[in-house]
Chain A
């Protein structure tokens, strides 16, 4: 079997566009899932009973479904529910955001809960309100604790964007597979895809390690 790596070079334009799409998907997903996750965590921690139950149900539902199932579900069911078809990109984005929001909500909740009660009492003993105690004392500490978890969610998300290739979002996995199908250069295209994911992912993982060291709070 002879390898012909020129196929990668020939399709560089498509691969670069696809890489851009992968990055865009990951960034857009996180941009939605961070605030939504925080809101959901707040509902779960502080809201009135039924709203809290709703937040819990959401988290437990989406956290325990395979992402690819959510992707298919969004593709087939969302148009029926909403009455209009979304583009593959928006459908994929919705599926990823639904999933990552659930994870982020759990991360935020665990972060807030990890700060011991005495810290809030110390803040309140100074005359702070509960909201001030949360803002000035609990959240800054919780954020530092969960930063590594959020970062590793990000690294997972970056790779998981490849799952939306099943609904023809033109991101890196989909485009690589398209080129493979047209040229029959399986090994070359899989290798190229692996190299691109790795080259993008590795520095991110290193950055996560650095963030972990930089923002750790020792007690």
Chain B
């Protein structure tokens, strides 16, 4: 690791993964992952499918429990109990590969749902808030559309607005563009870029190498449940240290 090249290394660590181990039965999904996320950083997790990137992300907000090591959020170890996790999850927005918008609610209602149910906002305020965040992702004119009436890219932007409406400190993205048609990937990435420019702390599992390269502050390369290499994108993409990283990048057609 070369923290000298880490522009935001002097900022406080928001998330710390310390030798995180996750098992599914006998299968070891994470074999001791250590990684820091500083405030305002965009940390991209890359690597082949099944290498543990998404698993680590899902452990971050307690959707999956861990068997070893520790995850710290703002200096405190992740709570184990449901109540503690609920409080924590309000502060971490999550965006899923398959969007997971609520199909029985309109775009506006989807975004207002968290503020309404979790933050106990009154309906009028929740609605105002939802309108504001829909506008932020450029979908104010789709407020009354149901998810099934929206394109994949639009659905994912609504999902981002839904997560932002909770005013999270961190955003977790789990392959946000993997289920999208190529022509709608750009609109989602540009919303994410805009968020990054505003200083949002983001952990992004992605196969979009150009995004990791351009927007990422720090890149961690996963292979069989371990971080085999991490560093600033310039290093990872131009002078990767390991053979495995070079292989992975060249398979994706990344010339370096």
Contacts and interface: CB of A to CB of B under 8 A. Distances in A.
Interface in A78-134: 118-119, 121-130, 132
Interface stretch (B97-105, B132-140, B181-189, B234-242): B97-105
Contact of A126 (B82, B98, B113, B148): B113
A136 B117 contact: yes
Contact of B90 (A126, A136, A144): A126
A134 to B, nearest CB: 12
Contacts, number: 67
A127 B118 contact: yes
Contact of A218 (B87, B113, B148): B148
Given A217-B103, A218-B103, A219-B103, A126 B63 contact: no
Contacts of B90: 126-127
A208 to B, nearest CB: 20
A127 B82 contact: no
A145 to B, nearest CB: 10
Given A128-B86, A129-B82, A218-B148, A121 B100 contact: yes
Interface residues of A, number: 21
A119 B102 contact: yes
B104 A118 contact: no
B94 interface: yes
The 10 closest A-B pairs by CB, nearest first: A122-B100, A127-B90, A125-B94, A126-B114, A218-B148, A127-B118, A118-B100, A127-B89, A217-B103, A219-B103
Given A122-B96, A125-B94, 16 more contacts: A119-B102, A121-B100, A122-B94, A125-B89, A126-B113, A126-B114, A126-B163, A127-B86, A127-B90, A128-B117, A130-B82, A136-B113, A136-B117, A144-B104, A217-B104, A219-B103
Interface of B: 61, 63, 82, 86-87, 89-90, 92-94, 96, 98, 100-104, 113-114, 117-118, 146-148, 162-163, 166
Interface of A: 118-119, 121-130, 132, 136-137, 140-141, 144, 217-219
